[in-house]
């Protein structure tokens, strides 16, 4: 009786975990470029190329758990996969200041804080323990199952290839930035600087996940002495602004400009613009890491 109950629970848990993996993989496949850029922030630009591979592995494991094929084997492989990606994310949190696991693509409220990610991954592993501790009767893979897997694989690979276009990590390495006098750049229309001070202008959008994940680190640039002042420059969005004010308590001023004006300054968001002596010394695109990593 107990063995039968354990078998049923293990089967239900595998379906639940399989559903989570399928949802996670599909959401990332819909925004592969963002996931690839996030992967490249772990310190190696080439790691962005692993994004489609991670998505494919996640989806295949989800499908196989859902089909109840070789349950003990694929439960063990899923546990190993979750443990590996958790270890990679732990490195990103501790060494690179990354706080977004990117597990569910654009649904940032599901990605949440790092400790929630680790708790969620631990729960997934715990749900698979019954499948590892007892022999489970699986369902044989039929031709229709293989056809289903092939169709899903083709669809996902097409989707990954389509949404991978535009990933910053796949573009050629940028040429060294040449300083630009502030007066010669469109930014001068919206920002005025004292020649003896240093500034960071953070251009962002209220609806951009990478922008919002950067806010905490941007707020540390003045307290840590990296710059004298931070100026936020955001695209006008009354609804997004209201939500932003509820979620964040920032220590820098934010100026809102029209979308067309922002496009004259930068084609992509977020971007950090560093100004010294009335000169733009650097422009860095992408999610902002902790200023502690910029200090000697």
Tell me the per-residue pLDDT of 170-226, one tens digit each, with 9 for 90 and over: 665 556 788 999 999 999 999 988 889 999 999 999 988 888 999 999 999 999 989
- Partners of 199 in the β-ladder: 229, 275
| Contact (CB, 8 A) for 188 and 181 | no
Residue with tokens 């992509």: 268
* Cis? peptide before 270, omega within 30° of 0: yes
Which domains does the chain possess?
Answer: 2-170 (no CATH), 180-294 (3.40.30.10)
pTM for the predicted model, two decimal places: 0.58
Report helix, strand or coil for 182: helix
| DSSP, residue by residue, 28-42 | HHTTHHHHHHHHHTT
> 119-177, pLDDT tens digit by residue?
999 999 999 998 888 777 777 777 777 777 778 777 877 777 767 766 666 665 556 78
Angle at 221 between CA 218 and CA 224, to 5 degrees: 140
């Amino acid at each position: 009786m107990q063995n039968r109950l354990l078998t049923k629970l293990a089967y239900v848990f595998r379906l639940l975990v399989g559903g989570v993996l399928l949802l996670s993989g599909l959401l990332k496949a819909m925004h592969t470029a963002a996931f690839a850029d996030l992967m490249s922030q772990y310190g190696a630009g080439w790691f962005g190329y692993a994004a489609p591979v991670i998505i494919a592995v996640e989806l295949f494991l989800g499908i196989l758990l859902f089909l109840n094929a070789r349950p003990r084997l694929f439960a063990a492989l899923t546990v190993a996969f979750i443990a590996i990606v958790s270890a990679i994310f732990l490195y990103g949190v501790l060494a690179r200041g990354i706080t977004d696991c990117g597990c569910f693509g654009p649904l940032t409220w599901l990605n949440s804080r790092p400790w929630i990610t680790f708790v969620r991954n631990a729960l997934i592993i715990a749900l698979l323990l019954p499948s590892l501790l007892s022999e489970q009767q699986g369902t044989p893979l039929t031709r229709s199952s293989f056809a289903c897997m092939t169709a899903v694989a083709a669809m996902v690979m097409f989707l990954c290839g389509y949404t991978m276009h535009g990933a910053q990590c796949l573009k050629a390495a940028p040429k060294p930035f040449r300083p630009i006098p502030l007066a010669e750049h469109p930014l001068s229309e919206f920002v005025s600087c004292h020649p003896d001070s240093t500034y960071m202008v953070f251009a962002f959008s209220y609806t951009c996940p990478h922008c919002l994940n950067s806010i905490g680190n941007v707020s540390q640039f003045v307290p840590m002495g990296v710059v004298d002042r931070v100026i936020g420059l955001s695209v006008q969005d009354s609804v997004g602004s209201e939500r932003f004010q509820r979620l964040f308590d920032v220590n820098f001023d934010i100026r809102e400009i029209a979308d067309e004006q922002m496009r004259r300054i930068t084609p992509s968001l977020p971007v950090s613009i560093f100004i010294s002596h009335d000169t733009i010394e650097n422009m860095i695109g992408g999610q902002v890491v902790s200023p502690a990593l910029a200090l000697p």
